[in-house]
Structure 1
């Protein structure tokens, strides 16, 4: 039977405690850092050569759906009552939102070094030590709103703009794709400054600290953010009945994206699964 993923604001006190304890246990076992390493490895930009699956590609959504499922399954091996809640960043837009409380994710980093000093993931507890990163420092970092170069969380209108596009993705199937739901949700734009980042990308930049770049999995909020992103894919599918993952067929040998993106029925590394097989999650989980 399918289990549920809730809005983080709907979690009971017991559910919050059990979620945190499951995260900390995965960290203690060393399993959590494997997820960090995987995301760093597969964070390949479209300026690099080779196959892209996690970002700047059509597989952004199915890749993170499977990634999130793997983490959720690991959490549920610790505590079968746990699932990953979602953070609706169009509504919970301030540092005082419930998810940043001392009984859940803790709050912002301190001004001097962005170190998170509150909540269960604070370094002082020695239960959440950063071991896999692209920067130095063993403590979790955040920099809400990036005060030195301010950025705001996406609005409901920003998200609606992505959801109304009836096409899943479009050529050239990367960060420069101007049409298609995938990139409008993932959020790569042109130009400079905070306006370039949209939806998913802007959330990463608003949280700041470890949420910037490939090592973003070090912050547990990564999963709550991607649970909400995954929910948007589900909503888009319901709104545009019959719309499917694209490209349906792989780009040809003369295409610049030849062997650089995954088509609907091709295997999506690092798993033996296709985007087509991940389009329907209704038999596994549902959102409430």
Structure 2
């Protein structure tokens, strides 16, 4: 059993150990394997393929397992490291501690949005983008997207999602208007709401975080640790509500074979959502 801490509570030593472990995964090529996996499983509604990771009920369990695999890789480098979480409802400015030079580095510079500070700056020689999404080899950020401004989600945005007692509902995709899953995943739905929560954070950071290769920015892991924590809070708030769909969609349903029910094994690990509902034997949030 280990703990995942709020990033603002990390000591200087804890920050350094985490950064060092991430850089070691990058050096060996393992980090880029995680980026490639996320790109592979970023399947949209328009694709007639199974969707395990996004725009789907299994958004939470898939990313929980994904974080666990990444955390395991980190701990093979340094057994005392875990993924901290970034509460973007509180630490919601470019001056927040996670953007310090001794941790994740800051915003991208004007023009090409290249990150120039911290260990993940390209000019430091340890972090180059290899995912073939862009010709730029450097990490990019565009906090708040000044060309079309966006703000980070508020505590009220999160509270509205946590108050929904239903996990997910038909049509089980990006246009599902209610349910905790899509309120947190945050797809904008015309006439219902704009982009919010998880998706709006990706947009606010911008640059490398704004596409399918978003793990190219190490803040991805802190962001998704907080999303995982929100799932935990929702489960505690609604103990009588469970993962949906409990059974695969009926024959003839356009989502049959495309979404993962409670006991459907999810790729690439062949693990069921039902096996990922409880993390209490592995880690705790503090």
Q: Which runs of 5+ in 2 are unaligned?
A: none
C-alpha distance in 2 between matches for 1:133 and 1:34: 13
Query: Does the aligned pair in 2 maintain the 1:57–1:175 contact within 8 Å?
Result: yes
Counterpart of 2:211? Answer: 213
C-alpha distance in 2 between matches for 1:158 and 1:182: 13
C-alpha distance in 2 between matches for 1:135 and 1:177: 31
SS at match of 1:286: strand
Counterpart of 1:235? Answer: 233
C-alpha distance in 1 between matches for 2:15 and 2:213: 24
Counterpart of 1:223? Answer: 221
Asked if residue 270 in structure 1 is aligned to residue 265 in structure 2, the reply is: no
Encode CA deviations 1:71-124: one digit per residue, 9 max, x unaligned: 000000000010000000000010000000001000000011000000000000
Encode CA deviations 1:43-96: one digit per residue, 9 max, x unaligned: 011111110011000010000000000000000000001000000000001000
Alignment of 1:198-209 (within 5 A): 198-209=196-207
C-alpha distance in 1 between matches for 2:213 and 2:36: 8
Deviates more, 1:233-242 or 1:195-204: 195-204
Counterpart of 1:114? Answer: 113
Counterpart of 2:70? Answer: 71
Alignment match of 1:254 (pick from 228, 252, 255)? 252
SS at match of 1:214: coil
Query: Does the aligned pair in 2 maintain the 1:66–1:278 contact within 8 Å?
Result: yes
C-alpha distance in 2 between matches for 1:134 and 1:42: 15
Counterpart of 1:282? Answer: 280
| Deviation of 1:134 (Å) | 1.6
Counterpart of 1:27? Answer: 26
C-alpha distance in 2 between matches for 1:19 and 1:269: 28
Counterpart of 1:132? Answer: 131
Asked if residue 13 in structure 1 is aligned to residue 6 in structure 2, the reply is: no
Alignment of 1:29-48 (within 5 A): 29-48=28-47
State the TM-score, normalizing by the size of structure 1.
0.98
Query: Does the aligned pair in 1 maintain the 2:177–2:189 contact within 8 Å?
Result: no
SS at match of 1:4: strand
| Deviation of 1:32 (Å) | 0.2
Alignment of 1:145-224 (within 5 A): 145-191=144-190, 196-224=194-222
Encode CA deviations 1:199-253: one digit per residue, 9 max, x unaligned: 0000000000010110100000000000000000000000001211100000122
SS at match of 2:64: helix
C-alpha distance in 2 between matches for 1:102 and 1:281: 32
State the TM-score, normalizing by the size of structure 2.
0.98
Query: Does the aligned pair in 2 maintain the 1:90–1:153 contact within 8 Å?
Result: yes
SS at match of 1:22: helix
Moved over 3 A (4+): none
Query: Does the aligned pair in 2 maintain the 1:133–1:215 contact within 8 Å?
Result: no
Name the count of aligned residue pairs. 285
Q: Which runs of 5+ in 1 are unaligned?
A: none
Query: Does the aligned pair in 1 maintain the 2:85–2:223 contact within 8 Å?
Result: yes
C-alpha distance in 2 between matches for 1:187 and 1:202: 7
